[in-house]
Structure 1
Amino acid sequence: MTRKIYVVRHGQTQFNFERKLQGQCNSALTDKGAEQARLVGLKLNEHLVGRDYKVYASSLGRAVQTAHIICEQIGHAKEHLIEDARLQEFGLGHWEEKTIMELEEAFPDLLAERDWILKAPESESYDAVKSRLLHWLSDAPDSHDLVVVSHGLTGIVLRGILLDMSYDDVWQLDLPQDAFFVVENGTVTRVECG
């Protein structure tokens, strides 16, 4: 049986709702975010029946909160959830807790580039995030499917690694909170959960 990796982004947070950058700071899920996590869990449950899997989450609160809701839906004991700091979101330096509106006012052309987020002063680099994800993957078991509850940007880098994508192609990927991605044998399937 080929290993499948399920890449999940946390549900909507208060900061997402306010269009505020989180990075490695945290805000709690909104009611909508909790419902997104529940629906992802229900759909994931259909995919995991009869398969051996482990559930991993970024150690940031919003990912853990999402993973706990998913665990309830798939019948996976929360105590068996594996939290790992290597799955955390990019550190966004001085832009953490800034709103997109504030940044657009300060830098009018900022959003023209898909990877604009990496222009944040003191931000964690793409290569640093890729390196910690590769390190995590090298430690993950080959014998189990992996459910990975992470973040928007970290999630696209992980998908890029698993699909052997170029830097530019990674930044074309979307970051849904109401879908997840199943990666198997170098192919990806998007699963809608709305």
Structure 2
Amino acid sequence: MIILLRHGETFWNRERRIQGHTESDLTPLGLRQAEAMARLAADLVAREGGGWRLVASPIGRAQRTAEAVARATGLTVETDARLAEVCCGEWEGRLRAEVAEIHPERFATGEWFFGAPGGETFEDVHARAASWLADLPPESERRVIAVSHGVTGRLVRGAYAGLDRHATLAQDVPQDAIYRLQNGQIDRFDCEPVEPV
């Protein structure tokens, strides 16, 4: 079983600024989302017994979210670069609207995050996601909580379920829900509502 989370809201998420590998702190709402996801993850894993690992992207927003999960579960955070967000190259730090104005053809496809000069492709990130999944224990022995990102989390779920590119990228990327990947099935669990202050 894999319990998969996206990090909580960041200041750049709120500003609609392209993050990629660049750091952006969790907002107060993002911190509360991380705590809510952590409580839900702890509840789900407690039902399954011991032997769990907690693995996160090395990027700060995922690490902060993983720290909340670690507090809730008593697990230690391991880091795996394959769970990092898609690199958006020269576009990192820029507003989406600004880049969309300059490159409307790339944004029209709905796959703009793979179009940045110096950034990663769909195939690059899919290969990372598939490699991470392939290195896990067999399904019957798998007990992993993973903290990742919007795009990479989609590709982990897509690789797990054998989805095509379109179906993979059409998936939701909530910051107030977690996914359970088990026996070829993906189930979403929504957290308790967390209101902005």
Q: TM-score, normalised by structure 2?
A: 0.90
Contact 1:163 1:187 in 2 (8 A): yes
Q: What's 1:139 paired with?
A: 135
- Following the alignment from structure 1 to structure 2, what is the Cα–Cα distance between the partners of residues 167 and 93? 21
**Percent identity, aligned pairs only?**
34
- Deviation per CA, 1:105-150: give whole Å up to 9, x if none: 2234543322122111122011111212222223223323111100
Q: What's 2:56 paired with?
A: 57
Query: Which of 38, 43, 51 is the matching residue for 2:40?
Result: 43
Q: What's 1:169 paired with?
A: 167
- Following the alignment from structure 1 to structure 2, what is the Cα–Cα distance between the partners of residues 115 and 106? 15
- Following the alignment from structure 2 to structure 1, what is the Cα–Cα distance between the partners of residues 109 and 50? 40
Q: What's 1:15 paired with?
A: 12
**Higher mean Cα deviation, 118-127 or 61-70?**
118-127
- Aligned pairs for 1:68-147 (under 5 A) are 68-76=67-75, 80-142=76-138, 143-147=141-145
Number of residues of Structure 1 aligned to a counterpart in Structure 2: 188
- Following the alignment from structure 2 to structure 1, what is the Cα–Cα distance between the partners of residues 129 and 154? 11
Contact 1:54 1:144 in 2 (8 A): no
* Pairwise CA RMSD: 1.4
Contact 1:57 1:67 in 2 (8 A): yes
Gapped runs of 5+ residues in structure 1? none
Contact 1:114 1:172 in 2 (8 A): no
Give the aligned residue type for 1:14: F
**Higher mean Cα deviation, 37-46 or 128-137?**
128-137
- Following the alignment from structure 1 to structure 2, what is the Cα–Cα distance between the partners of residues 94 and 16? 18
Give the aligned residue type for 1:147: I
Gapped runs of 5+ residues in structure 2? none
1:158 is the counterpart of 2:146: no
Q: What's 1:149 paired with?
A: 147
- Following the alignment from structure 1 to structure 2, what is the Cα–Cα distance between the partners of residues 128 and 29? 26
Q: TM-score, normalised by structure 1?
A: 0.92
Give the aligned residue type for 2:157: R
